[in-house]
Amino acid sequence: MQRYFVPLSGWNDQHVVITGEDVHHIGKVMRMKPEHHILCCTPEGDLAECEITEITSESVTCKIVEWLEEDKELPATVTIAQGLPKGDKMEHVIQKGTELGASKFIPFEAERSIVKWDQKKSQKKIARYQKIAKEASEQSHRTMIPSVVNVHSLKDLLALQVEYDWVIFAYEDEAKSPSFHSLKEVFTKVQKDERILVLIGPEGGFSEQEVQRLKEAGALAVRLGPRILRTETAATYFLSALSYQLEELG
């Protein structure tokens, strides 16, 4: 069944009213009719099987048939802080990161970020990225949509560390060193329901000054395997490894 995320304002007793772009998708793309069934998710992650009762040009009205139990979210809450990359690489990070279970994305302007965002550009990009996260959540059958927030500085990120159980940054020198912190060491200590903030540098990686500031703040430098990964690949590697550790081995 097709899955849709419905804001709180769309839920009313035993009925759900869908508006916005999903109306076109249901009626014109999927060509659904009354009596067809869909899945609707609340903002809190609850899931209901619903039967369409009416389709208009403005809205789709459904009745709730049954509340369902699903466990599709990562056992740990992961925020990806991604150094601003060039081109459309951020879209790749958000799409694949959503499919693999990330809960939040924070674009941040690193010292070696070539890309710079002004306020106008930032608002347009965040709206675009949030749409990508929504579509990826529907495709991967998640019950939550990750949030994508406005661009941060490293100082902003360090101020957030009190909200997390783990603050980790991917550092390419760890991959080159014969003595390194591996993900395996970290993941064997991570517990379910813990909160993890992962920082990933842009194409040029973190500067020496940024590495020093992160380490002084207590962030843990780790290597993501023995090879040097592209910036748009790092989050995928991290989330895949965490999923295997907590969901498959666990």
Largest CA-CA distance found in the chain, in angstroms, rounded:
64
Q: What is the pLDDT of residues 75-121, one digit of tens each?
A: 999 999 999 999 999 999 999 999 999 999 999 999 999 988 887 88
For residue 21, count CB atoms less than 10 angstroms from its CB and return exposed for 0-12, middle for 13-18, buried for 19 or more: exposed
Shared domain for 27 and 95, answered yes or no, is no
Shared domain for 87 and 184, answered yes or no, is yes
Pair 136, 103: CB distance under 8 Å: no
Shared domain for 27 and 114, answered yes or no, is no
Shared domain for 88 and 61, answered yes or no, is no
- Number of domains composing the chain: 2
Shared domain for 141 and 89, answered yes or no, is yes
Q: What is the pLDDT of residues 56-75, one digit of tens each?
A: 999 999 999 999 998 889 99
Shared domain for 54 and 84, answered yes or no, is no
Residue 154 one-letter amino acid: L
Boundary-marking domain end, from 44, 68, 92: 68
Domain range enclosing 62: 3-68
Query: What predicted TM-score, i.e. pTM, was given to this entire model?
Result: 0.91
Our CA angle for 44, 49, 55, nearest 5°, is 100
**Which CATH number covers residue 34?**
2.40.240.20
Residues lower than pLDDT 50 in the chain? none
